[in-house]
Structure 1
């Protein structure tokens, strides 16, 4: 069984210099944006069009938006309404990934050298970690995940 290298990163609470430096140091080949909304003005340097430009110019890194790996508006709004009840959010998001059958719509090879991007600064309470764990469970542990 060949392993696939994947990483995750968040852009809040970091500078552009630190963010892009971590991607370059990790040897990331492509950034897969797993945010539902990737055009918010609050995203600063991580606004979709700007980010794609910076990634290409700074490190020759490709960019793609993959809403298949994002929670729905309903799940996001419920999380905010429920004052950040992580266990409830986690259960709803895991059920959504199961319903979407993401493990059969993607392949490990598609994610080799990729970095999943979301806004949260750490992976602990972020859906990007849940995506990696879910896929690893369904793909027999092939993913070697590094949280940047």
Structure 2
């Protein structure tokens, strides 16, 4: 049996129709929103709007705030202090609620095509890659990254 996979995607500078098209092209069935706060100033990416767009495309939406970066980590990232952001986020991932969310994400990935979503276009700069690395290390789920072309 082939190893399960988890995809990741960032919505930075991508219009919602192009974002949904990238998910459909990859045959994603479930999008896991790994933002702690599922709000966005970018049109279409707040929780309710995003869930509605995905539902219309036949893609399930799940918000797992336990896999989001705490406020202090987001502030460090905004300042360019990725080491502090990573330290804060790694501490979050050992919390029981985050461990349960990781296990749930792994279970979903074992059942179908799942994609982790956050803002950052470059997966190497986003905490969703840390989540994907934990899914690989703890559950053997291989990461893959979607990179829709920035349009906005």
Give per-residue Cα distances to partners, 1:97-138, cap 9 Å, x unaligned. 123474455142223411111011111110100001022112
**Paired residue for 2:121?**
121
Alignment of 1:60-79 (within 5 A): 60-79=58-77
**Paired residue for 2:107?**
109
Give per-residue Cα distances to partners, 1:54-88, cap 9 Å, x unaligned. 1111x2001011011011122222433xx211122
Instruction: Provide the rounded CA distance (Å) in 1 between the counterparts of 2:22 and 2:51.
Output: 16
Instruction: Provide the rounded CA distance (Å) in 2 between the counterparts of 1:75 and 1:137.
Output: 22
What TM-score, normalized to structure 2?
0.83
Deviation at 1:92?
1.9
Give per-residue Cα distances to partners, 1:23-50, cap 9 Å, x unaligned. 001110011101111123x131111111
**Gap regions ≥5 residues in structure 2:** 147-152
**Paired residue for 1:84?**
80
1:45 aligns with 2:39: no
Instruction: Provide the rounded CA distance (Å) in 2 between the counterparts of 1:38 and 1:104.
Output: 19
Q: Is the 1:8–1:129 contact (alpha carbons within 8 Å) kept by the matching residues of 2? A: yes
Distance verdict in 2 for CA 1:113–1:3, change over 3 Å: same
**Gap regions ≥5 residues in structure 1:** none
Q: Is the 2:6–2:144 contact (alpha carbons within 8 Å) kept by the matching residues of 1? A: yes
SS in 2 for 1:74: helix
SS in 2 for 1:43: coil
Distance verdict in 2 for CA 1:56–1:94, change over 3 Å: same
Q: Is the 2:123–2:145 contact (alpha carbons within 8 Å) kept by the matching residues of 1? A: yes
Deviation at 1:13?
1.3
Instruction: Provide the rounded CA distance (Å) in 2 between the counterparts of 1:60 and 1:130.
Output: 27
Q: Cα RMSD between the aligned structures?
A: 1.9
